């Protein structure tokens, strides 16, 4: 594609984009001076250099809205916007955010390719759009070049965007699609259209890859949550294990008090294993654990080790906890167990319980040791009973 140095005006006439006649003795909006000869026409590279200097001079980041503002200013210095910017930047004065917004443009950090409506003086007014800034500038080749520049700025930040936000990338693809639709109206810039279409295709592919990666991350997150749950659950009974219980104890402050701790132990459980085998013992252990969990719901019940279960009660007084576990003790004692394979009846299975209140100013280890002592006091008193203190 060859740069002819001319462009179509909005009326369809050819205008020679020469410079020099409109230059003032002071600094131009892009920070350069009027001294010295300039090219007779406006080559693409020279325009890009001026846009780059303009953005740098006025502290504007290289994003599409700023490129569009710079292009509109520098490519038409005799238009209202160009004149307004030239007046504001006399004597090398730098544009401020307020200056740009008063001209009807926006200073942004993201990719939106938009500007506010402007009146004939280049100043934003309500919702009326100045025809001189009509998006259908079908004969303006330099506008297409600016769009490609904007697209390139998107692509430069593409990798970082894809790592952070899939939604932003989708929006990026839609912006490029609109840019492509705009520049395809210009038959003489097929190459630019092809380049932009390629970019859109690449973004689509990246979106697909990111969607797959996101799905994999979600699956991994679910597996990690499952693994975390497994690591905190007793394999035999399905109840939370010691680790889960200790974590709950440490976080009990997030639940309303008072807090009580109970330690339950199956009486003479070793005898069950010795007489009927460990398979039967495991079934008894599981049944007792499920009974404790059901009777104490919604409080946390965990298998703490061996035939011992620990219970954390939140918002329950020691007196109410003692009543709850006395009911539990009676429920367990009423159960009758038989060996599945032989239908042989087991002796009555009972539990002993030690219950204590957890004081706010004491370590949980102290409370647990106290509950453990109360448990063994219950066993010393004949088993099948509770001791609270």
Cα(5)–Cα(51) distance, rounded to whole angstroms? 17
Structure tokens at 167: 């939604």
307 counts as catalytic: yes
Q: Which residue has the tokens 């740098």?
A: 56
Closest CA to 30 of 81, 95, 84: 95
How buried is residue 258: exposed, middle or buried, by Cβ count under 10 Å (0-12/13-18/19+)? middle
Say how many CA atoms lie within 13 Å of 126 toward its Cβ. Answer: 3
Task: Report the alpha-carbon distance of residue 207 to residue 217 in Å, rounded.
Answer: 15
Decide if 13 contacts 24 (C-beta within 8 A).
Answer: no
Catalytic residue among 307, 308, 341, 362: 307
Q: Write out the catalytic residue numbers.
A: 307
């Amino acid at each position: 594609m060859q740069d002819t140095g001319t462009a179509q005006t909005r009326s369809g006439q050819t205008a020679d984009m020469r410079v020099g006649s409109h230059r003032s003795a002071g600094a131009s909006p892009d920070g350069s001076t009027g001294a010295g000869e300039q090219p007779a026409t406006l080559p693409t590279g020279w325009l890009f250099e001026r846009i780059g200097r303009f953005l740098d001079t006025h502290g504007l980041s290289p994003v599409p809205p700023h490129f569009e503002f710079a292009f509109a200013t520098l490519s038409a210095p005799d238009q209202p916007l160009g004149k307004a910017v030239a007046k504001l930047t006399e004597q090398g004065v730098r544009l401020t955010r307020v200056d740009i917004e008063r001209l009807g443009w926006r200073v942004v950090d993201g990719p939106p390719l938009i500007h506010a409506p402007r009146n004939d003086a280049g100043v934003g007014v309500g919702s009326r759009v100045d025809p001189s800034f009509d998006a259908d500038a079908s004969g303006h080749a330099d506008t297409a070049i600016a769009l490609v520049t904007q697209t390139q700025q998107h692509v430069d930040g593409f990798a970082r965007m894809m790592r952070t936000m899939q939604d932003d990338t989708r929006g990026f693809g839609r912006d490029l699609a609109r840019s492509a639709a705009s520049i395809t109206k210009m038959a003489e810039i097929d190459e630019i259209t092809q380049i932009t279409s390629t970019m859109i295709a690449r973004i689509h592919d990246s979106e697909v890859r990111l969607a797959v990666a996101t799905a994999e991350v979600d699956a991994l997150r679910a597996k990690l949550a499952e693994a975390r749950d497994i690591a905190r659950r007793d394999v035999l009974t399905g109840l939370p294990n010691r680790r889960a219980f200790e974590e709950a104890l440490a976080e009990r402050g997030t639940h309303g008090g008072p807090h009580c701790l109970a330690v339950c132990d199956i009486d003479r459980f070793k005898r069950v294993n010795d007489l009927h085998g460990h398979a039967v013992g495991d079934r008894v252990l599981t049944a007792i654990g499920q009974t404790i969990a059901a009777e104490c719901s919604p409080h946390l019940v965990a298998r703490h080790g061996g035939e011992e279960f620990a219970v954390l009660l939140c918002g329950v007084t020691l007196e109410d906890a003692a009543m709850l576990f006395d009911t539990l003790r009676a429920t367990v004692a009423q159960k009758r167990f038989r060996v599945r394979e032989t239908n042989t009846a087991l002796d009555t299975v009972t539990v002993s319980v030690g219950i204590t209140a957890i004081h706010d100013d004491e370590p949980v280890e102290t409370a647990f040791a106290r509950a453990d002592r109360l448990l063994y006091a219950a066993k010393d008193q004949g088993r099948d009973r509770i001791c609270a203190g």
